[in-house]
Amino acid sequence: MVLRAGQRREKKQLEDIERQNLFLVQLDHHRGWYRYHNLFRDLLQRELEESEPDLVPVLHRRAAAWHEAHLDPEPALRHAHAAGDIHDAARILSSIAQQVHDSGRAAVVEGWLDLFDVDERLDRHPAVAVQGSSILAARGRAEEADRWLHAAERGVASRRRGVAAIRPRIAVMRAALCADGPAQMQADARAAASKLAADDAWRPAALLVRGVAEMLLSDPVGADATLAEAVDRAATTGSTETRAIALGERSLLAAVREDVRAADALAEEAQRVIEEGELADYPTSALALATSARSRLRHGQWDHARRLLTAATRVTPHLTYALPWLAVQTRLELADACVTLRDRGAAGHMLEEARGILAVRPDLGVLDDAVERLELEIAGMPEAGRGTSSGLTRAELRLLPLLSTHLSFREIGERLHVSRNTIKTQAISVYRKLGVSSRSEAVAVAEDIGLVESETRVELEVEEPVGAF
């Protein structure tokens, strides 16, 4: 129960009770709102249920109306459900679920969805069912997402009124699940986008899946334009999850056309959206994290890239065939990063997972060919040799590419923000672990075992002795 301090006498009484720790909790810094301590509230509620059970739903209904009138929908939802007013609870849930999900509180929304996870109830509330399908798909719960979508379709089919706004949302979800290939995905997304208003919260998602379908169908120019519109609409509607995914997709497209500057800028923006929206634990953030890691690798920022890859890899298992295009894209991007880091085992693992998703959703357009190319690239990687078995540290692996340049130890130290003596110590350790005695020999062995690219090697102007100061 929430209490408001009104007249001066009442305000003083509430303040005194709260200061004496008598089961009253302050809700704001101005001491204008209070609530009972949760344990005390539960005790009073149990007593009410035992003494006057018929009054309980009446009070819940009054509480729901009060919270709605004061623009506080979350407790209104709970009270409406507790009162047995399922229609009102469904109406409130469908109006706030996506906003709450995009604020980084997916677990809260999943709890609300559990209240409606009954087939008959889902059929009667198709707006909740399609919203639930969207959130369950984003959380990787493929079978449940499909079941909720079918419930929404049944609910719409059994009604003539009040479902016009739900039909394009169903089309968005059919496109996102991509059960019938990219051509049907594109058709569903186009149909949905044509019926959704510019300010509709579902329009960014419709544009996202349409842009992805265009990319899968080998139309990168059209895809980038559609995804750019998705980014803009998502920023306007506050659809942070959709915005992050669309930015990651655009970064991929920029990298394919070798526009490194654009790829880096888009990846950085995607990561910023994830951080500001507190979405790093969302499975759908894995692609943006992976593209940001690839950007860091392009600039030799190995430690930062590894941290991003670790974050992406942690949530990737929950990115399933519910969104097959995103699941495969993410694993391809992570595998490419692992190839760059010469981690053949990790790259092969990501490839195997991508193939597992394709076994369930076999038609994903250009991604089928991308998987084949990745398999050939991994097969061409050298087997683990002296470099991988000799225990090179992260700092030593970061040093190796720079040893193949004309930079002196002092200049390398300046670039890596460490002292010349630190670089010299690391170089000596590298030589010992690789079984060589000079910088040029270390570079040659590193090239031979695939720790550095041979084509990037520059003739060393100075063969710097490790004993020099």
Q: Identify whether the C-beta of residue 327 lies closer than 8 Å to the C-beta of residue 320.
A: yes
Share of the chain above pLDDT 90, in %: 55
In a shared domain, residues 391 and 425:
yes
Domain enclosing residue 429, as ranges = 386-456
Alpha helices in 202-285 (DSSP H): 203-216, 220-237, 240-256, 260-277
**What's the pLDDT score for residue 31?**
60
Residue 460 has pLDDT above 70, yes or no: no
Instruction: Identify the residue with better confidence: 77 or 54.
Output: 77
pLDDT tier for residue 65 given thresholds of 50, 70 and 90: very high
Contacts for 303 with CB less than 8 Å, ≥ 6 apart? 394, 398
Judgement on whether residues 395 and 411 belong to the same structural domain of the protein: yes
pLDDT at 398: 83
Which region among 109-118, 168-177, 387-396, 425-434 has the lowest average model confidence (pLDDT)? 387-396
Q: Average pLDDT in the 14-23 region?
A: 56
Domain boundary (318, 344, 379) is at 379
DSSP state of 382: P
Query: Would you list the DSSP string of 39-95?
Result: HHHHHHHHHHHHH-TTHHHHHHHHHHHHHHHTT-HHHHHHHHHHTT-HHHHHHHHHH
Q: Looking at residue 354, what is its pLDDT?
A: 97
Dihedral sign (CA 185, 188, 189, 190): positive
Categorize the per-residue pLDDT at 382 as very low, low, confident or very high, splitting at 50, 70 and 90.
low
Of 206-210, 294-298, 463-467, the one with minimum mean pLDDT is 463-467
What was the pLDDT predicted at 324? 98
pLDDT tens, residue by residue, 261-319: 999 999 999 999 999 999 999 999 999 999 999 998 888 787 788 899 999 999 999 99
The yes-or-no verdict on residue 149 having pLDDT over 90 is: yes
Asked if residue 365 belongs to a domain, the reply is: yes
Q: Specify the amino acid at residue 435.
A: G
Note the pLDDT of residue 442.
84
Whether residue 172 lies inside any domain: the answer is no
The CA R_g of the chain, rounded to the nearest whole Å, is 28
- Give yes or no: residues 369 and 423 share one domain: no
Q: Are residues 365 and 413 in the same domain?
A: no
Judge whether residue 151 has pLDDT over 80: yes
d(CA 162, CA 159): 8
- The mean pLDDT value for 128-152 works out to 95
Q: Is the pLDDT of residue 36 over 70?
A: no
Check residue 458 and give its pLDDT: 39
Residues 338 and 445 in one domain: no
448, part of any domain: yes
CA distance 175 to 184: 7
Co-location of 390 and 373 in the same domain: no
- Same domain for 374 and 244? yes
Distance between start and end Cα atoms, the chain: 74
Question: How many domains is the chain partitioned into structurally?
Answer: 3
Task: Determine the pLDDT at residue 370.
Answer: 94
Residue 467 has pLDDT above 50, yes or no: no
Domain boundary among 323, 352, 379: 379
DSSP letter assigned to residue 364: -
How far apart, in Å, are the Cα atoms of 397 and each of 167, 340, 403, 434, 447?
54, 12, 10, 12, 12
Percent of the chain with pLDDT over 70: 83
Model confidence pLDDT, tens digit, residues 388-447: 444 577 788 888 888 888 888 888 988 888 888 888 888 888 887 777 778 888 888 777
For residue 240, is it within any domain?
Answer: yes
Interatomic CA distance for residues 109 and 152, integer angstroms:
18
Query: Where is pLDDT greater, at 340 or 257?
Result: 257
pLDDT tier at 18, thresholds 50, 70, 90:
low
Residue scoring higher pLDDT (70 or 36): 70
Closest alpha carbon to 241 in 281, 291, 211, 268? 281
Asked whether residue 49 is domain-assigned, the answer is yes
Q: Where are the alpha helices (DSSP H) in 316-459?
A: 324-340, 344-360, 366-379, 386-389, 394-403, 409-416, 420-434, 439-448
Q: Is residue 449 included in any domain, yes or no? A: yes
Q: How do 33-36 and 24-26 pair as beta strands?
A: antiparallel
Kindly indicate the confidence band of residue 468, based on its pLDDT and cuts at 50, 70 and 90: very low
